[in-house]
Amino acid sequence: MSDDSNQGKDLARSLEEYRDRSQAAIEAIDVTAVARWTEEVFQAWRQDRQLLIFGNGGSAATASHLAEDLATYAIPFDEPRRLRVLSLNDSAPTLTALGNDIGFDAVFSEQIQQWARPEDLVLTMSGSGNSPNLVAAIERANSIGCKTAAMTGFSGGTLRGMVHHPLHVEIHEMQPAQDAHMIMTHMIIDGFRTLVRTDLAEGVTGGAEG
């Protein structure tokens, strides 16, 4: 048997093991907690409140993904009432200006100060739950009177105990934890989309308030 064949089997085995760890992370998702947060997002849409989302690195990409799908795919394009959702990690000029002028720990907390109002929703994502810039932003959001949530892994870190809605996955490896966060993201999108369409259908027949 060639070395290439052995390496291919070793790689396949390694990938199968990763798949199993990722599946374990997904199984650890607290569906009830995700459902509660999804209901918060739905009510924000009904009441014209906004949702602010942010993270670092891979979590920033997940935040952008969630904001984009909630702003587009989740609500019919012919529906004038949209969800006011913003990903705070998407503006490189804003991030670099705040990082340069104040410091990286303030790149999200200053944007929370700029945009957030009482009863708005604020969601962050962090593998460790300890990133100083995320902790600072949630502290600011809580002080304003926002409803806060955090997707976390490992032990949940500082963020887990700070937010009103902890979306925690007890997985002690970064990539599987982030896999679970992406699944929770898609769960929120799918659940919100279902709630919106049900609400709109009932509104047509007079079964719901506007």
Question: Is 11-199 in CATH node 3.40.50.10540?
Answer: no
**Between the CA of residue 37 and those of 50, 105, 113, 149, what are the distances in Å?**
14, 26, 22, 8
Percent of residues in the chain assigned helix, strand, coil, to nearest 5: 60, 10, 30
**Cα–Cα distance between 47 and 57 in angstroms, integer?**
31
What are the residue ranges spanned by the domains of the chain?
11-199
Half-sphere exposure of 80 (CA within 13 A, CB side): 1
Q: Which two tokens stand for residue 10?
A: 């070793």
129 in Cβ contact with 159 (< 8 Å): yes
pLDDT of the residue at 2: 60
DSSP string, 6-52: HHHHHHHHHHHHHHHHHHHHHHT--HHHHHHHHHHHHHHHHTT-EEE
Tens digits of pLDDT across the chain (210 residues): 566 777 878 999 999 999 999 999 999 999 999 999 999 999 999 999 999 999 999 999 999 999 999 999 999 999 999 999 999 999 999 999 999 999 999 999 999 999 999 999 999 999 999 999 999 999 999 999 999 999 999 999 999 999 999 999 999 999 999 999 999 999 999 999 999 999 999 985 433 444
**Which stretches does DSSP call E strand in 107-210?**
121-126, 147-152, 165-168
Q: Which two tokens stand for residue 144?
A: 């304003």
130 in Cβ contact with 157 (< 8 Å): yes
